[in-house]
Amino acid sequence: MAYRLRDSEPLPDGIRRIVLEQIDRALERLKPKTRNKDRAIHEGRVCFKKVRSVLRLVSCEIGADLFRLENAEYRDMGRKLSVVRDTAVVAETLETLLQHSSRNFAGADLKSLRKRLGLSRVEQHVDRNEVLVQVADVLHSARNRVESWPLEGNNFSVLGTGLRRVYKQGLESFEAVRRSPSSEGFHQWRKQVKYLLYEINVLNPLWPKMLDVLARELSRLSDYLSEDHDLALLRERALEQSKALGDVTEIEGLVRLIDNRRARLEARATALGGRLYSEKPNAFRERFQSYWDVWHSTKTIDQVEAPPTNTASYQASASIF
């Protein structure tokens, strides 16, 4: 299985195959008997994001109404899982941050914060199996609808408008955080970066070596923004918990540590974003149109019958020159 198109299949078949593979992967991961539920939930949410990225890629082909219906379905399933995942992320982010800090946080405030986050995490475990069952039921219904998606075109016009729109939305989000940085702004940009990353992965066969590089840089940008988002959640949770504490000196130190780390991440993200979002949306689309055209012409050449390879035939052909 691969989250990308194949040379040997029509575009509608490729899109359906990619989506069905992600649905089946999510169903496999989200079984209630899964031992590592944190990991399973994370991987399930990634599958939903990948499906939503494909939906954006073919949104003009399937139509606005169907896009909104399907996108909302996968969005809502992701939100159900995020409720039981975010608490674990916050606890893990705190431990990772403290491990890499040169300052020794050993006071009662941090111990209390750790305990409170741990209790919240245990409380979330109670509802996990029920949530997984609910999501699986919805996912089975969603899977049954994929074959009826109105996918017919086998050319770049099926993909080009959706690709351009995702790139444009990412560019607009990037420009917004450059003008006025905010946690919400970076979070919105992060979502668009992930959509573009997944779409580039789908389109990888158009020019594998070049798009491998682009995907790696988008993945690096996504990592910066994801860590920034996790730290923002931790900061919010720490300030909430501090209201129940007497002396908040250590919590204030933790918040300063978070803010310093986020400032570095956001600076790196902005610098990298300036390179990745340097084109106008129309130019970006046209570049991928040219990749598509060359890819299809190459496939046509590969389908031409190869010349004879036996020695006698080769010698006869060579004597012409």
Q: For residue range 69-109, what is the model confidence (pLDDT) as tens digits?
A: 999 999 999 998 887 777 778 878 888 888 877 666 655 55
Identify whether 98 is part of a domain. yes
Per residue in 23-75, pLDDT tens? 999 999 998 888 888 888 999 999 999 999 999 999 999 999 999 999 999 99
CATH label of the domain that carries residue 239: 1.40.20.10
Identify whether 278 is part of a domain. yes
In this prediction, residue 312 has a pLDDT band, given cuts at 50, 70 and 90, of: very low
User: Residues of 167-201 as b/e, b for ≥16 C-beta within 10 angstroms?
Assistant: bbbbbebbebbeeeeebebbbbbbbbbbbbbbbbb
Q: Please answer whether residues 189 and 177 qualify as being in contact, where contact means their C-beta atoms are separated by less than 8 angstroms.
A: yes
In this prediction, residue 305 has a pLDDT band, given cuts at 50, 70 and 90, of: very low
- How many residues can be counted in the chain? 321
Identify whether 255 is part of a domain. yes
Identify whether 32 is part of a domain. yes
The one-letter code for the residue type at 208 is: P
Mean pLDDT for 268-297 is 97
Q: Please answer whether residues 94 and 113 qualify as being in contact, where contact means their C-beta atoms are separated by less than 8 angstroms.
A: yes
Residue 277 confidence (pLDDT) above 60: yes
What pLDDT, on the 0 to 100 scale, is given for residue 244?
67
Instruction: Look at the chain and report how many structural domains it folds into.
Output: 1
What pLDDT, on the 0 to 100 scale, is given for residue 2?
87
Pull the structure tokens for residue 304: 């031409």
Identify whether 190 is part of a domain. yes
Can you tell me the distance from the alpha carbon of 257 to that of 100, in angstroms, rounded to the nearest whole number?
11
Residue 282 confidence (pLDDT) above 80: yes
Can you tell me the distance from the alpha carbon of 302 to that of 133, in angstroms, rounded to the nearest whole number?
47
Which sign does the torsion angle of CA 229, 231, 233, 236 carry? negative
Q: What percent of the chain has pLDDT over 70?
A: 82
H/E segment holding residue 51: helix 37-57
Mean pLDDT for 209-234 is 96
What pLDDT, on the 0 to 100 scale, is given for residue 270?
98
Can you tell me the distance from the alpha carbon of 11 to that of 7, in angstroms, rounded to the nearest whole number?
9
Nearest CA among 222, 284, 274, 301 for reference residue 46: 222
Residue position matching structure tokens 């029509």:
10
Residue of 163 and 240 predicted with greater confidence: 163
Identify whether 28 is part of a domain. yes
Q: What is the value of pTM for the model shown? A: 0.87
State the distance between the two ends of the chain, measured CA to CA, in whole angstroms. 46
What pLDDT, on the 0 to 100 scale, is given for residue 313?
37
The C-alpha angle with vertex 292 and arms to 290 and 296, in degrees rounded to 5, equals 120
What pLDDT, on the 0 to 100 scale, is given for residue 103?
63
Q: Helix or strand or coil: residue 166? A: helix
Q: What percent of the chain has pLDDT over 90?
A: 63
How confident is the prediction for the chain on average, in pLDDT? 86
Residue position matching structure tokens 């606005």:
64
The C-alpha angle with vertex 215 and arms to 82 and 90, in degrees rounded to 5, equals 25
In this prediction, residue 301 has a pLDDT band, given cuts at 50, 70 and 90, of: low
What pLDDT, on the 0 to 100 scale, is given for residue 253?
82
- How far CA 81 is from CA of 18, 40, 133, 238, in Å, comes to 22, 10, 11, 22
Identify whether 2 is part of a domain. no
Q: Please answer whether residues 187 and 229 qualify as being in contact, where contact means their C-beta atoms are separated by less than 8 angstroms.
A: yes
Q: Helix or strand or coil: residue 102? A: coil
Identify whether 196 is part of a domain. yes
Can you tell me the distance from the alpha carbon of 82 to that of 233, in angstroms, rounded to the nearest whole number?
13
Range of the domain at 182: 11-295
Residue 202 confidence (pLDDT) above 50: yes
Q: Give the number of other CB atoms < 10 A from CB of residue 76.
A: 12
Residue 178 confidence (pLDDT) above 50: yes
The one-letter code for the residue type at 135 is: V
H/E segment holding residue 65: helix 64-99
What pLDDT, on the 0 to 100 scale, is given for residue 211?
98
